[in-house]
Structure 1
Amino acid sequence: MSHTAEWKVRLYLFEEDQTTKARLELDTGTKKLTGHGTARCAPQDTDVPEIGDELAVARAMDHLAEQLKRTAYGDMQAVGAPALQESLKPYTGWLDMEAS
């Protein structure tokens, strides 16, 4: 079985007051998912916008990946696959609490 698909991705970056926010939108043609990520520059650190961009986008990608896995696992169960035991951590919002 051959299959070809094109998924569209849009990335938005916003920076204000040493805080960078990223929004990553994925459109598969049948589903739309949005990942969010934030990075903050500590007051004692040198403000390097590229680092904030990289961290915020990486966190948005992580968030989107978790949603995509949940979607795939739900689709697998819908076609009769057994439930997976893998634990997916819930997304707590804009902040990456481990990085705080």
Structure 2
Amino acid sequence: MKHTAEWGVRLYMSEENGTTKTHAVLNTGTSTLDGHGTAQCNPADSDVPEIGDELSASRALQDLGRRLMATAYDDMEAVGSAGADSTRRDRR
């Protein structure tokens, strides 16, 4: 069975008082998942907004990835996949 899909991820970033927050949203066409990340500038460091964007975005994408993997495991269990339990245990 051939299957193709395109999923879009949007990143929404905001910065205030040296703290950058990112909200990552994945739209699969049938569902939406999100992740969150934060980065804070060390007061001893130069304030470089791009670095805060990179750190908070990467953390939001990591969070999104964990949530997507948990959703996949739940879906595997829902369809009675024999490997769902062992796969979930191996990833913890």
Same fold (TM over 0.5): yes
2:56 match: 56
Q: Is 2:12 the counterpart of 1:8? A: no
Partner SS state of residue 65, structure 1? helix
Pairwise CA distance, 1:31: 1.4
C-alpha distance in 2, partners of 1:58/1:9? 13
CA change 1:39–1:6 in 2 (3 A) is same
- Could you list the runs of 4 or more consecutive aligned residues of structure 1 that deviate by over 4 angstroms after TM superposition? none
Post-superposition Cα deviations, 1:38-62, rounded to whole Å, max 9, x if no partner, equal 0000111111111100000000000
Q: How does 1:1-100 map to 2 (within 5 A)?
A: 1-82=1-82, 83=85, 84-88=88-92
C-alpha distance in 2, partners of 1:40/1:86? 32
Pairwise CA distance, 1:87: 5.0
* Equivalent position amino acid for 2:37 in 1: G
Post-superposition Cα deviations, 1:72-97, rounded to whole Å, max 9, x if no partner, equal 00111111124131354xxxxxxxxx
Computed over aligned residues only, the root mean square deviation of the Cα atoms, in angstroms, reads 1.1
Matched residue count: 88
Which structure 1 segments of 5+ residues have no match? 89-100
Post-superposition Cα deviations, 1:10-58, rounded to whole Å, max 9, x if no partner, equal 1111011011001110010111111110000011111111110000000
Which structure 2 segments of 5+ residues have no match? none
Structure number with higher helix proportion: 2
* Equivalent position amino acid for 1:39 in 2: A
